């Protein structure tokens, strides 16, 4: 575990005691007077701003239920009814617990950043450059939390000063375009005035670097460019060209910062699952960090690999069952759609296919919860996997693996991207130390390819170059000459195959104006059950969404106390 991760463990315990209502309306413990006396205390407070990322209401758990429903993945499991929280099953309400908690978590992070920026000048004794770095990190995180609010809710209350009183707290919604201007200005300035380079941080992605800021800025510009779709209006000149140019500009800055794709697609994920950073190449740029196995008083574990990951037996209470016998318990709530399965098959993409979509199931020859003895592979997958990642560092080996004798007719299978077998023993039942990838270099390359194509009315040499890098690692051929529309669709498919289960897809579909259309296109297929065993049960209803789902609902809890919010988002 690295220093920042260790500090977050301590901070999560302390800060969880002071999180409050909207914009921290009732601060009860943490005050500037007792937290801004020394550089060490300032660092501790800053880490508390980071800690929002790892909370159960964000990447630590609920985020999966909020944004994982898209045309590549769905909530599922044999005999499993719809989830009771989040937007993933098309059954959310304005009082949804996960939606409400996410809203409050983001504003808690914003208020912490505001408090930090208002009080940092009181601290003396900083080493050269440290104060500027801290300020830049706080500004970036505040802007990132606002970006999440805008992505999910559109127009939201906006303030850049901390809450000083529990009275007069009604705050109207601000037009999201004004907030976009703020987000972009803050992130860009942070990158230039204090953030360390990724090299200075030894390419450890737990801390925000210039590369982080530039890559997320590209993401912000691309999402802003598509706002006209969910607003139902014609695109402006900025949305047709200018924002794509800026997205390419910032993403290209990342290309100069020493990042590189790992040799194998699975390398960065094995690192994340085994609590390591960029051991083979500097691909991972920013991660939400988790640590521990639920055995200490201060906890900073997450649910990656447990909620989303391979199904495995619960052997957490059996201290003598370790190693390959205990690959970690997983609910396997998240499954691929046949659409994702077919994208891989039709493109001949076996490498990313065999890692992202589970090609096997764990088996226990001695009976339930006795210990895994072997894996049962889909037909034709055993030798394929063993020639790819089957004997990679830390991968469990089983002498008695078997393979099905008939080809699968079910194209909806468990997410295989986050694998608990790489976690250290002894594994907890539900809580993991697996980090979550917020930004990878592969995403940056694909953003450049997309932005170049849109800004120049067709793919440029750089666009082809970026696509080649990503596709070459996957074992796919170099692209032929394409029209703008052909290249556009190829980028969309490439993002699907490269970034599935990393929670970018829902927002990609929204900014492309395709979210409702693509989801509804799967309803009939799911109902038919053709290559989709779970489809005819509850699953088909998860895709029958309306345009309401282009936005999250503003929580009832917020509207009941903030009287300046008089209208919810469309349809809610």
pLDDT digits (tens, 9 = 90+) for 243-261: 999 999 999 999 999 999 9
Q: What is the mean pLDDT of residues 31-56?
A: 90
Reply yes or no on whether the pLDDT at 14 is more than 70.
Answer: no
Reply yes or no on whether the pLDDT at 402 is more than 50.
Answer: yes
Cβ contacts of 9 within 8 Å, gap of 6 or more: 291, 292, 296, 298, 299, 300
User: 319 is written with which tokens?
Assistant: 């201290």
Q: What is the mean pLDDT of residues 42-51?
A: 96
**pLDDT attached to residue 165:** 72
Reply yes or no on whether the pLDDT at 220 is more than 60.
Answer: yes
Four-CA torsion 380, 417, 65, 488, nearest 10 degrees: -90
Chain Cα centroid distance, residue 8: 19
User: 76 is written with which tokens?
Assistant: 């599922």
User: 129 is written with which tokens?
Assistant: 């450059």
**pLDDT attached to residue 6:** 41
**pLDDT attached to residue 470:** 98
Banded model confidence at residue 162, pLDDT cuts 50, 70, 90: very high
**pLDDT attached to residue 299:** 75
Q: What is the mean pLDDT of residues 534-561?
A: 97
**pLDDT attached to residue 16:** 38
**pLDDT attached to residue 294:** 86
- pLDDT tens column, 337-368: 999 999 999 999 999 999 999 999 999 999 99
The reply to whether omega before 290 is within 30° of 0 (cis) is no
CATH of domain 196-290+439-512: 1.25.40.900
Reply yes or no on whether the pLDDT at 21 is more than 80.
Answer: no
**pLDDT attached to residue 433:** 95
**pLDDT attached to residue 495:** 98
Cβ contacts of 520 within 8 Å, gap of 6 or more: 543, 544, 545
Q: Can you tell me the distance from the alpha carbon of 156 to that of 112, in angstroms, rounded to the nearest whole number? A: 18
User: 459 is written with which tokens?
Assistant: 């793919």
**pLDDT attached to residue 390:** 92
> Do 196-290+439-512 and 37-161+515-571 fall under one CATH topology?
yes
- Per the model's pLDDT, the better-predicted residue between 437 and 14 turns out to be 437
DSSP letter, residue 418: S
Q: Can you tell me the distance from the alpha carbon of 45 to that of 39, in angstroms, rounded to the nearest whole number? A: 10
Terminus-to-terminus CA distance in the chain, angstroms?
A: 43
Average pLDDT of the chain, as a whole number: 93
How do the domains of the chain map onto residue ranges? 37-161+515-571, 196-290+439-512, 303-434
Nearest to residue 265, comparing CAs of 339, 188, 187, 354?
354
Nearest to residue 48, comparing CAs of 126, 136, 118, 115?
115
Is residue 126 classed exposed, middle or buried when 0-12, 13-18 and 19+ CB atoms within 10 A define those classes? middle
Q: Sign of the CA dihedral 393, 396, 397, 403?
A: negative
Q: Is the separation of the CB atoms in 206 and 196 below 8 Å?
A: no
pTM: 0.95
- Per the model's pLDDT, the better-predicted residue between 35 and 59 turns out to be 59
Q: Is the separation of the CB atoms in 432 and 306 below 8 Å?
A: yes
Q: Can you tell me the distance from the alpha carbon of 403 to that of 378, in angstroms, rounded to the nearest whole number? A: 6
Nearest to residue 110, comparing CAs of 75, 73, 162?
162
Q: Can you tell me the distance from the alpha carbon of 441 to that of 228, in angstroms, rounded to the nearest whole number? A: 28
Least confident of 20-29, 290-299, 326-335: 20-29
Reply yes or no on whether the pLDDT at 264 is more than 60.
Answer: yes
Architecture of domain 37-161+515-571: Alpha Horseshoe (1.25)
Least confident of 3-12, 445-454, 468-477: 3-12
Q: What is the mean pLDDT of residues 562-571?
A: 96
Other C-beta atoms closer than 10 Å to the C-beta of 568 total 18
- pLDDT tens column, 461-485: 999 999 999 999 999 999 999 999 9
- pLDDT tens column, 192-205: 999 999 999 999 99
CA distances from 378 to 345, 409, 554 (A): 14, 10, 44
Reply yes or no on whether the pLDDT at 395 is more than 80.
Answer: yes
Burial pattern 456-482, b for ≥16 Cβ within 10 A else e, equals bebbbebbbebbbbbbebbebeebeeb
Reply yes or no on whether the pLDDT at 169 is more than 90.
Answer: no
Q: Can you tell me the distance from the alpha carbon of 111 to that of 19, in angstroms, rounded to the nearest whole number? A: 10
**pLDDT attached to residue 30:** 52
Chain Cα centroid distance, residue 452: 24
Q: Sign of the CA dihedral 489, 494, 500, 502?
A: negative
**pLDDT attached to residue 32:** 67
**pLDDT attached to residue 26:** 36
**pLDDT attached to residue 248:** 98
Q: Can you tell me the distance from the alpha carbon of 213 to that of 210, in angstroms, rounded to the nearest whole number? A: 5
- Per the model's pLDDT, the better-predicted residue between 133 and 164 turns out to be 133
Q: Can you tell me the distance from the alpha carbon of 246 to that of 12, in angstroms, rounded to the nearest whole number? A: 36
Task: Give the number of C-alpha atoms closer than 13 A to the C-alpha of residue 283, restricted to the C-beta side.
Answer: 24
Banded model confidence at residue 511, pLDDT cuts 50, 70, 90: very high
Banded model confidence at residue 393, pLDDT cuts 50, 70, 90: confident
- pLDDT tens column, 274-323: 999 999 999 999 999 999 888 877 678 999 999 999 999 999 999 999 99
């Amino acid at each position: 575990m690295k220093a920042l991760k260790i500090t977050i463990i301590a901070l999560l315990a302390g800060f969880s005691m002071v999180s409050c209502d909207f914009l921290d309306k009732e601060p009860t413990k943490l005050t500037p007077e007792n937290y801004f006396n020394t550089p060490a205390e300032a660092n501790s407070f800053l880490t508390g701003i980071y800690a929002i990322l790892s909370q159960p209401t964000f990447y630590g758990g609920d985020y999966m239920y909020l944004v994982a429903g898209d045309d590549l993945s769905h909530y599922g499991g044999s005999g499993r009814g719809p989830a009771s929280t989040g937007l993933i099953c098309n059954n959310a309400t304005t009082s949804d617990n996960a939606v409400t908690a996410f809203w409050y978590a983001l504003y808690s992070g914003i208020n912490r950043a505001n408090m930090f920026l208002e009080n940092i000048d009181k601290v003396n004794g900083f080493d050269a450059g440290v104060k500027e770095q801290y300020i830049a990190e706080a500004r970036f995180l505040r802007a990132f939390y606002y970006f999440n609010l805008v992505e999910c809710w559109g127009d939201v209350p906006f303030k850049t000063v901390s809450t000083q009183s529990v009275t007069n707290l009604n705050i109207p919604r601000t037009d999201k375009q004004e907030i976009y201007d703020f987000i972009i200005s803050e992130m860009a300035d942070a990158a230039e005035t204090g953030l360390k380079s990724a090299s200075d941080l030894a390419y450890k992605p737990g801390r925000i670097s210039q590369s982080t800021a530039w890559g997320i800025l590209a993401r912000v510009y691309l999402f802003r460019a598509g706002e006209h779709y969910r607003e139902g209006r014609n695109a402006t000149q900025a949305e047709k060209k200018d924002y794509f140019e800026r997205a390419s500009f910032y993403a290209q800055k990342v290309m100069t910062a020493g990042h590189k794709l790992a040799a194998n697609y699975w390398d960065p994920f094995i690192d994340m699952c085994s609590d390591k950073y960029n051991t083979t190449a500097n691909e991972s740029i920013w991660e939400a960090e988790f640590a521990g196995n639920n055995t200490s008083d201060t906890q900073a574990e997450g649910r990656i690999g447990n909620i989303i990951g391979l199904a495995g037996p619960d052997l957490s209470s059996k201290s003598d069952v370790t190693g390959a016998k205990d690959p970690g318990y997983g609910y396997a709530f998240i499954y691929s759609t046949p659409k994702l399965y077919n994208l891989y098959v039709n493109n001949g993409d076996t490498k990313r296919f065999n890692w992202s979509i589970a090609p096997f199931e764990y088996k226990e020859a001695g009976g339930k919860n006795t210990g895994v003895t072997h894996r049962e592979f889909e037909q034709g997958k055993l030798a394929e996997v063993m020639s790819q990642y089957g004997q990679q560092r830390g991968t469990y080996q089983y002498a008695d693996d078997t393979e099905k004798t008939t080809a699968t007719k079910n194209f909806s299978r468990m997410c295989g991207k986050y694998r608990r077998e790489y976690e250290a023993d002894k594994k907890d039942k539900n809580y993991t130390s697996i980090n979550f990838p917020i930004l990878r270099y592969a995403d940056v390359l694909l953003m450049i390819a997309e932005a170049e194509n849109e800004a120049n009315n067709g793919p440029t040499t750089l666009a082809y170059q970026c696509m080649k890098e990503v596709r070459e690692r996957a074992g796919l051929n170099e692209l032929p000459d394409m029209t703008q529309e052909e290249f556009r669709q190829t980028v969309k498919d490439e993002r699907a195959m490269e970034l599935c289960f990393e929670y970018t897809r829902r927002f990609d579909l929204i900014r492309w104006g395709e979210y409702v259309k693509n989801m509804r296109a799967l309803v009939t297929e799911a109902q038919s059950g053709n290559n989709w065993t779970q489809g005819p049960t509850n699953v088909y209803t998860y895709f029958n969404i309306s345009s309401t789902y282009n936005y999250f609902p503003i929580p009832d809890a917020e509207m009941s106390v903030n009287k300046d919010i008089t209208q919810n988002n469309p349809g809610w």
